[in-house]
């Protein structure tokens, strides 16, 4: 089976009702990301950060995978599919995709604010600063905030090196190190981009840009790959 590596970003979940980051004038769900998604924000105002991620979890609980997520699952019938996602939602999981690698963490996990190895699946949508890890420190969202290391990046690089085909869906490719993953594929690997807008990718051979939203774009991709 050919190895089909898929890099997803916020755009794939847009049609499920979850806003992208950079399509809204730098504001993300009415917040400056720096006020809610940095270690400094957590230091300064943990209540605001906690409330923000509670809202995101509630919103996610009301969303469901769209046709694009489901098509990526269907592609497993013919390809060895691995999904590297920058998204913190669980819509790929709920579409039953088998191999999912979260680069930027997961909304449905919390972790100790003193020991990053103590990670817990969420048991509720809303957390408070009273919720503690087993060592007694406050639980924080299991999210890679701006300025933090991306522990999954080496695994993602190894996966990209193996790609027979690379598909990039709904990401502007503006945030590193994720945006640099395309540089690790073998020479002449075909790349398919699904995004209604231009994305930040240097001139590489073999790029096919399907300039549609994810749901329509993934239908087209499936047609092309099934030929």
| Residue that the structure tokens 């819509």 belong to | 91
The CA distances from residue 116 to 15, 88, 93, 103, 165, in Å, are 33, 17, 23, 15, 34
Burial readout 40-61 (b: 16 or more C-beta within 10 A, e: otherwise): ebbeeeeeebbebbbbbbebbe
Per the annotation, the verdict on 104 as an active-site residue is yes
Interaction between residue 81 and ligand APR (CB under 6 A)? no
List 6, 7, 14, 193, residue binding ligand APR (CB under 6 A): 14
**Half-sphere exposure of 116 toward its Cβ, with a 13 Å CA cutoff?**
8
Nearest distance in Å: CB 151, ligand APR: 14
The C-alpha atoms of residue 3 and residue 5 are separated, in whole angstroms, by 6
**Residue from 84, 165, 172, 182 that binds ligand APR (CB under 6 A)?**
172
**Residues 15-54 vs ligand APR: string with x where CB under 6 A?**
x----xxxx---------x---------------------
Stretch 82-111 residues interacting with ligand APR (CB under 6 A): 86, 104
Binding footprint of ligand APR on the chain (CB under 6 A): 9-11, 14-15, 20-23, 33, 86, 104, 170-172, 174-175, 195-197, 199, 213-214
Which residues participate in catalysis according to the annotation? Answer: 104
């Amino acid at each position: 089976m050919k190895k089909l590596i898929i890099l997803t970003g916020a755009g794939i979940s847009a049609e499920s009702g979850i806003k992208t980051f950079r399509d809204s004038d730098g504001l993300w769900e009415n917040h400056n990301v720096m006020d809610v998604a940095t270690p400094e924000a957590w230091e300064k105002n943990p209540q605001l950060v906690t409330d923000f991620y509670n809202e995101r979890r509630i919103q996610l609980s009301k969303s469901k995978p769209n046709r694009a997520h489901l098509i990526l699952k269907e592609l497993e019938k013919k390809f060895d599919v691995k999904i590297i996602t920058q998204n913190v939602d669980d819509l790929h999981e709920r579409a039953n995709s088998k191999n999912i690698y979260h680069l930027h963490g997961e909304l449905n996990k919390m972790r100790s604010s003193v020991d990053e190895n103590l990670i817990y699946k969420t048991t509720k949508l809303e957390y408070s600063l009273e919720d503690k890890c087993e060592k007694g420190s406050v639980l924080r969202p299991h999210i890679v905030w701006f300025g933090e290391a991306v522990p999954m990046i080496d695994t993602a690089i190894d996966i990209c090196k193996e790609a027979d085909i690379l598909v990039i869906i709904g990401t502007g490719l503006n945030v590193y190190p994720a945006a640099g993953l395309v540089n690790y594929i073998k020479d002449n690997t075909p790349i398919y981009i699904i995004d209604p807008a231009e994305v930040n990718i240097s001139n590489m051979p073999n790029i096919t840009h399907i300039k549609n939203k994810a749901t329509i774009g993934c239908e087209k991709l499936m047609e092309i790959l099934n030929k």
